[in-house]
């Protein structure tokens, strides 16, 4: 009976669904085709998409998964969303996520739990769990997520879908509700590499509204993604792939390592040369990430003061400080508060040198470490997450275990480098039912096209 109840409760990928908008946009597309104007349709015409609720959508409620923004309807679109609209996507709604993208399970959403479509007693990962689950459950062709420390790649792995974390600056952050601005990236999730690449084509590119967005040329990321049957027999001939040793050993579930080992053999059979590499300082990533991400968050989230926008207790008669306290006390959940406290502590006068400054030094070492490793090889490979999907309720009350799960993804954010998570098989050891596993193909700055080509051989 419990199982039936679980099943009927459904995956619940969305916080807000907008049927009307889908119907209107679809009717508009129909009309343009009927009027003989079909050739003016954008590259994503008719493609049903969901958008993580950390991205602003004009006229459509945007909560970032938090009660603080329960009634917030942005007057503007995030640049990435605006570009998708221009490309004629059908916007189905806003996908569930951990509040302010802080979490790894989507259980820290203030709205509801999202279930993993492969096993509804498990989490979809996070923080872009709704975006990954919506694709895995076949509710959307593609979705957007955001990745500050792994939030596209880890849920992609837990739900067995493709996720791309672009190079920092490749996609505009304008209209992305900030978590940690020096790490935040917007990227696509989709069923297959080609679909994810098609979305990346649309959302990439310079935006004068985001001073950190890049002016680099944008290649056609879908180019060279021939259907499998027309691939030459050794499409990876001459490609040097480094297997990151620190990502394959201790702390990684046996079933995950086995799936990634099989993936490596597959790459070899297609002509790639596999080498063992070490990324110096990589293991320092998690502590450095949690100091830097929470420091930036403590500053970014200061804007939720009950005055400018979002929840406000201003109706009550109270001192200014009480207004802040009451608004933030009720609007922010325990995980968000924990992070604001950690970040405020790390930045405070007596501790900034010991924590924030040291973490910045570690960040430089990690960036250098990736640079050195990527001198020896063209791309790096490792698992996208150390475990398959956890059972609901298992790590949410154990923050340290949850934070440690980010060990394989945060390094790339600290270095600003791109990575593609692509399903490579199943872990058949952790649970009684096989659970999906993604490999993570990582590379040099702005080298997404190469990563996409390598990822494509897993389709
Ligand atoms: N799990 C990581 C965190 O909780 C990453 C989140 C993210 O990338 N938004 O911070």
- 196-255 per-position pLDDT tens digit: 999 999 999 999 999 999 999 999 999 988 776 666 788 999 999 999 999 998 899 999
- 387 belongs to a structural domain: yes
> Whole-angstrom Cα distance, residue 418 to residue 152?
12
Contact 172, 55 (CB under 8 A): no
Q: Is the pLDDT of residue 348 over 60?
A: yes
Alpha helices by DSSP H, listed for 204-236, are none
CA of 434 to the centre of ligand 1 (A): 25
- Ligand 1 contact via 104 beta carbon (within 6 Å): yes
Q: What is the pTM of this model?
A: 0.96
> Whole-angstrom Cα distance, residue 125 to residue 156?
8
Number of domains observed in the structure of the chain? 1
What's the helix, strand, coil split of the chain in %, to 5? Answer: 40, 15, 45
> 42-98: per-residue pLDDT in tens?
999 999 999 999 999 999 999 999 999 999 999 999 999 999 999 999 999 999 999
> 165-204: per-residue pLDDT in tens?
999 999 999 999 999 999 999 999 999 999 999 999 999 9
- Ligand 1 contact via 179 beta carbon (within 6 Å): yes
> Whole-angstrom Cα distance, residue 294 to residue 336?
9
- Ligand 1 contact via 149 beta carbon (within 6 Å): yes
pLDDT of residue 147: 98
Q: Is the pLDDT of residue 453 over 50?
A: yes
- 132 belongs to a structural domain: yes
Contact 94, 62 (CB under 8 A): yes
Q: Is the pLDDT of residue 1 over 70?
A: no
Q: Is the pLDDT of residue 138 over 90?
A: yes
pLDDT of residue 4: 38
> Whole-angstrom Cα distance, residue 401 to residue 393?
12
Residue 167: give its domain's CATH number.
3.90.1300.10
> Whole-angstrom Cα distance, residue 344 to residue 299?
8
Q: Is the pLDDT of residue 454 over 70?
A: yes
Nearest to 124 by CA among 145, 163, 154, 144: 154
Number of H helices and number of E strands within the chain?
14, 11
- 291 belongs to a structural domain: no
Average pLDDT of the residues in 377-387: 98
**Confidence band, pLDDT 50/70/90 cuts, at residue 3:** very low
What atom of ligand 1 comes closest to residue 101's alpha carbon?
A: 9
Q: What is the rounded average pLDDT for all residues in the chain?
A: 95
> 287-313: per-residue pLDDT in tens?
999 999 999 999 999 999 999 889 998
Average pLDDT of the residues in 360-370: 98
The verdict on ipTM greater than 0.95 is yes
CA of 233 to the centre of ligand 1 (A): 39
Average pLDDT of the residues in 382-388: 97
- 135 belongs to a structural domain: yes
pLDDT of residue 314: 76
Q: What is the share, in percent, of the chain residues with pLDDT greater than 70? A: 97
pLDDT of residue 167: 98
> 91-123: per-residue pLDDT in tens?
999 999 999 999 999 999 999 999 999 999 999
pLDDT of residue 9: 57
What atom of ligand 1 comes closest to residue 152's alpha carbon?
A: 8
- 391 belongs to a structural domain: yes
- Ligand 1 contact via 148 beta carbon (within 6 Å): yes
- 338 belongs to a structural domain: no
pLDDT of residue 230: 66
> Which range of residues forms the domain containing residue 18?
13-282+364-456
CA of 403 to the centre of ligand 1 (A): 8
DSSP secondary-structure letter at 390?
Answer: P
Contact 168, 47 (CB under 8 A): no
- 164 belongs to a structural domain: yes
CA of 129 to the centre of ligand 1 (A): 11
pLDDT of residue 122: 97
Alpha helices by DSSP H, listed for 58-101, are 79-86
Nearest to 392 by CA among 133, 116, 149: 116
Which protein residue's CA is at the shortest distance from atom 2 of ligand 1?
149
CA distances from 287 to 337, 346, 407, 410 (A): 18, 12, 9, 10
Q: Is the pLDDT of residue 323 over 80?
A: yes
CA of 152 to the centre of ligand 1 (A): 9
What atom of ligand 1 comes closest to residue 180's alpha carbon?
A: 9
Q: Is the dihedral of CA 200, 83, 184, 367 positive or negative?
A: positive
- 69 belongs to a structural domain: yes
- Ligand 1 contact via 293 beta carbon (within 6 Å): yes
Average pLDDT of the residues in 396-424: 94
Select from 148, 178, 334, 340 the residue to mutate for testing ligand 1; criterion: most ligand atoms less than 8 Å from CB. 148
Q: Which residues belong to the active site?
A: 52, 127, 151
């Amino acid at each position: 009976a419990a199982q039936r109840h679980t099943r009927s409760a459904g995956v619940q990928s969305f916080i807000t669904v907008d049927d009307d908008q889908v119907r209107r946009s679809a009717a508009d597309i129909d009309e343009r085709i009927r009027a003989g104007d079909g050739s003016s349709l954008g590259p994503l015409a008719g493609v049903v998409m969901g958008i993580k609720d950390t991205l602003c959508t004009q006229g459509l409620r945007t909560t970032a998964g938090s009660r603080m923004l329960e009634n917030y309807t942005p007057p503007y679109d995030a640049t990435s969303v605006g570009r998708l609209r221009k490309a004629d996507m059908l916007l189905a709604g806003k996908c569930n996520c951990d509040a302010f993208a802080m979490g790894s399970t989507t259980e820290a959403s203030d709205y509801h739990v999202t279930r993993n479509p492969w096993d509804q007693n498990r989490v979809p990962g996070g923080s872009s769990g709704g975006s990954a689950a919506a694709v895995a459950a076949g509710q959307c062709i593609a979705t957007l997520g955001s990745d500050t420390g792994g939030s596209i790649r880890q849920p992609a792995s837990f739900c067995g879908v493709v996720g791309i974390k672009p190079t920092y600056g490749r996609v505009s952050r304008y209209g992305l509700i900030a978590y940690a601005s020096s790490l935040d990236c917007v990227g696509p999730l989709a069923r297959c590499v080609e679909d994810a690449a098609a979305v990346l084509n649309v959302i990439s590119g310079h935006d004068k509204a985001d001073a950190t967005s890049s002016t680099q040329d944008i290649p056609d990321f879908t180019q060279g993604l021939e259907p499998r049957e027309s691939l030459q027999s050794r499409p990876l001939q001459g490609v040097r792939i480094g297997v990151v040793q620190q990502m394959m050993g201790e702390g990684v579930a046996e079933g995950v390592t086995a799936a990634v080992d099989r993936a490596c053999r597959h790459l070899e059979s297609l002509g790639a040369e596999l080498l063992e590499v070490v990324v110096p300082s990589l293991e320092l990533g998690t502590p450095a990430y949690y100091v830097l991400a929470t420091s930036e968050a403590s500053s970014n989230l200061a804007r939720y003061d009950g005055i400018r926008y979002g929840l406000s207790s201003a109706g009550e008669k109270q001192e200014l400080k009480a207004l802040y306290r009451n608004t933030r006390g009720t609007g922010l959940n325990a995980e968000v508060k924990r992070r604001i406290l950690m970040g405020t502590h790390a930045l405070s006068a007596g501790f900034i040198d010991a924590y924030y400054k040291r973490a910045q030094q570690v960040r430089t070492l990690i960036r250098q470490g990736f640079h050195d490793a990527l001198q020896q090889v063209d791309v790096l490979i490792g698992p996208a997450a150390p475990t398959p999907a956890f059972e609901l309720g298992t790590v949410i009350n154990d923050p340290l275990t949850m934070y440690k799960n980010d060990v394989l993804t945060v390094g790339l954010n600290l270095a600003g480098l791109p990575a593609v998570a692509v399903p490579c098989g199943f872990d058949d050891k952790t649970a009684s039912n096989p659970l999906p596993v993604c490999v993570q193909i990582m590379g040099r700055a702005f080298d997404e096209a190469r990563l996409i080509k390598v990822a494509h051989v897993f389709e």
